[in-house]
Amino acid sequence: MSAIRLHTTTARVLFGLLLLAMSGCVRHPIWEAPEEARVWFDGEWIVYEGPLSEEANGEALALFDQHPGAGLRIISGGGPITAGMDLGQWILVRGLTVYVDQYCYSSCANYIFPAGRQRRLAPGAELGWHGGTLQWDSAEAMCESFKPEEGADSADYDDCVTRANGEREREVRFFELAGVEQRITILGFADGAGYPSRKTDTAWTYSLDDMARLGMTDIQVDGNGTWEPVDPPGRVTMCRMSLDNMRCLQIP
């Protein structure tokens, strides 16, 4: 994580919100999702349920030290990209299996599921993307809300740009290490794709074949191996991004 410190408490809070926006952290207004993550060992998996955070990551790493042969079973709507990449890089380095049996959205889909050496899905599991650092043209664009008026102190804006550049570069390295195409995080925004407006309760998914084309191979599906994207009622608005025609297709 970056050691850069912002100059004011307000700026730190705002940059935290910026990172959350960068992650596209999905809200679940209808779900009874926990406000804080719970992390535990179920006898086979380290289970991580809830929003990604530094604190929950620390709990997970401590449990992996106690149970070195375990994989990660994750149920998460996402969280700040820094927390997502921290955990994702840790998983990559250790070659862990990642299992999604319920849902994995936003930073979870960006950085946790792709990080698994083996990736496992339940037949009804949900994966959903809705953005990454590539959706901004530059760090300056990401930090537009920090831009000072002419003649005003620019320290917070400068710090934001430095931090944002670091996150953008880190995301590039992450996907290179994972062997997955970084554009998996933004394809839904392609011109003409038909993706809904950028609301926090919308997401797109991919077929298994298209995920493999983007480098996300070795996905095992429980049961008979059949997995189809679903549009989960009462959760998020979901479409399936097709690489063949670059359209986000309605899911039956």
Distance CA(171)–CA(182), nearest Å, equals 8
Tell me the per-residue pLDDT of 99-143, one tens digit each, with 9 for 90 and over.
Answer: 999 999 999 999 999 999 999 999 989 999 988 888 877 778 778
Tens digits of residue pLDDT in 47-82 = 999 999 999 999 999 999 999 999 999 999 999 989
Phi, psi (degrees; rounded to nearest 5) at 212 = -65, -40
Nearest CA to 24 among 136, 144, 158? 136
Q: Which amino acid appears at position 30 of this protein? A: I
Strand partners, 150: none
Residue 18 pLDDT class (50, 70, 90 cuts): low
Task: Give me the residue spans of the domains in the chain.
Answer: 9-135+169-186+199-238
Confirm or reject CATH 2.60.40 for domain 9-135+169-186+199-238, answering yes or no.
no
Report which DSSP code applies to 76.
B
Counting DSSP H helices and E strands in the chain, the numbers are 7, 11
- What pLDDT, on the 0 to 100 scale, is given for residue 225? 87
Find tokens 């003409």 and name the residue. 192
pLDDT at 233 over 70: no
How far apart are alpha carbons 128 and 207 in whole angstroms?
11
Per-residue confidence (pLDDT) for residue 202, from 0 to 100: 81
**CB atoms < 10 A from the CB of 69, how many?**
7
Quote the pTM value: 0.84
Please check the confidence at residue 240 and state whether its pLDDT lies above 80. yes
User: What does DSSP say about strands 38-41 and 45-49: parallel, antiparallel, or unpaired?
Assistant: antiparallel
| pLDDT tens digits, 183-215 | 999 999 888 888 766 555 788 999 999 999 999
